[in-house]
């Protein structure tokens, strides 16, 4: 698929970050776009930007959908069929995701499962729902967003990252399994797994809105304990200090990234054009992949992080 003009793309998590950047770039190339998110204000801004930049006559539809809920995903599919008056789609970007659910041992089970459900079941439910429409296309491509945390399950030796990492490993394995499955049963449908490094998105900020609402006492206490264990705050820090640090870190993740969301989207779309099944995004992702492959037994020790720091490939995290 060298040309996206006249195609129809479905993008989950299109309200911000890479999802929004993908929608904008595809619309600008003459692609119709259907996108969903749970944050409706973000979605409205995506629609405004796409319509402002799109080729004349392109159809941009937005839909509120929680991808962790299969009934809502099926409703989203039906809405896409109706809004675009079609029986097929050409591109499916399973991009929606959040961070959270840090520790399996002493973290909050509800938050852990919410993170896992969005990051894994969101991909699975959408793949199930839209597979018949992909097969109905003459030339189709499914693109599943994993992460460097889909091959390196940590943010460092002192930061548990189990729900997100487990989900991203599942996305990677699922995508790789589909290569052979599609080749045998739907050879005109291609699949890619995307593994971004640190990308300048609002995932940290949006995750708080999605999984924790306005922030409860449990989250505040967990964040305080984590920051204290890392030596980031003193024991006498106020609740307001903790809240401000959470916001500051979210802004820092977005604003200090080595790769922007727009750059990431361009890399992903180039990978689709070239029909690459494995798309690493960012120099940090490439270097981390090399290091983990070279010494997998060392990947979870302090020395591994020190190597990353020395090479300038480690700032505030490796998640997408």
Active-site positions?
164
Tokens 């006492």 correspond to what residue? 217
**Residue 31, token pair as written in the block:** 């692609």
* Angle formed at CA 147 by CA 125 and CA 281, multiple of 5 degrees: 120
Number of neighbouring beta carbons within 10 Å of residue 188: 12
What DSSP letter does each residue of 177-238 carry, written as one string?
A: HHHHHHHHH-TTEEEEEEEE-SEE-SHHHHHHHHHSTT--HHHHHHHHHHHHHTTSS-TT--
- Bridge partners (DSSP) listed for residue 280: 195
Using DSSP, state whether 167 is helix, strand or coil: helix
**Residue 246, token pair as written in the block:** 């959470």
Q: Could you give the count of Cα atoms lying within 13 Å of 7 in the half-sphere of its Cβ?
A: 25
The 8 Å CB, 24+ separation contacts for 291-297 are 292/151, 292/152
Task: Give the DSSP H/E element, type plus range, for residue 141.
Answer: strand 140-145
Q: Could you give the count of Cα atoms lying within 13 Å of 282 in the half-sphere of its Cβ?
A: 28
What DSSP letter does each residue of 301-318 carry, written as one string?
A: SHHHHHHHHHTT--SS--
Task: Give the DSSP H/E element, type plus range, for residue 239.
Answer: helix 239-255
């Amino acid at each position: 698929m060298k040309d996206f003009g006249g195609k129809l793309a479905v993008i989950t998590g299109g309200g911000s970050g890479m999802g929004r950047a993908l929608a904008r770039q595809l619309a600008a190339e003459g692609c119709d776009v259907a996108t969903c998110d749970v944050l409706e204000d973000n979605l409205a801004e995506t629609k405004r930007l796409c319509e402002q930049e799109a080729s004349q006559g392109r159809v941009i539809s937005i839909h509120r959908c929680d991808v962790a809920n299969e009934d809502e995903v099926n409703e989203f599919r039906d809405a896409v069929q109706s809004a675009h008056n079609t029986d097929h789609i050409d591109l499916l970007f399973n991009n929606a995701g959040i961070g959270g659910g840090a520790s399996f041992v002493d973290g909050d089970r509800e938050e852990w499962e919410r993170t896992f459900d969005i990051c894994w079941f969101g991909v699975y439910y959408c793949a199930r729902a839209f597979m018949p429409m992909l097969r109905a296309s003459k030339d189709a491509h499914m693109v599943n967003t994993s992460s460097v945390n889909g091959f390196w399950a940590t943010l460092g030796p002192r930061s548990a990252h189990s729900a997100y990492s487990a989900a991203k490993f599942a996305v990677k394995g699922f995508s790789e399994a589909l290569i052979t499955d599609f080749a045998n049963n739907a050879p005109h449908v291609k699949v890619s797994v995307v593994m971004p490094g640190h990308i300048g998105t609002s995932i940290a900020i949006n995750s708080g809105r999605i999984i924790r609402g306005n922030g409860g006492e449990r989250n505040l206490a967990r964040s305080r304990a984590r920051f204290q264990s890392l030596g980031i705050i003193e024991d006498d820090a106020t609740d307001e200090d903790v809240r401000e640090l959470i916001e500051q870190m979210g802004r820092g993740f977005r604003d200090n990234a080595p790769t922007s969301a727009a750059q990431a989207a361009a890399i992903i779309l180039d990978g689709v054009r070239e029909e690459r099944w494995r798309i690493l995004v960012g120099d940090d992702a490439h270097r981390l992949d090399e290091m983990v492959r070279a010494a997998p037994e060392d990947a979870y020790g302090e020395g591994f992080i020190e190597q990353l720091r020395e090479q300038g490939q480690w700032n505030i995290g490796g998640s997408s």
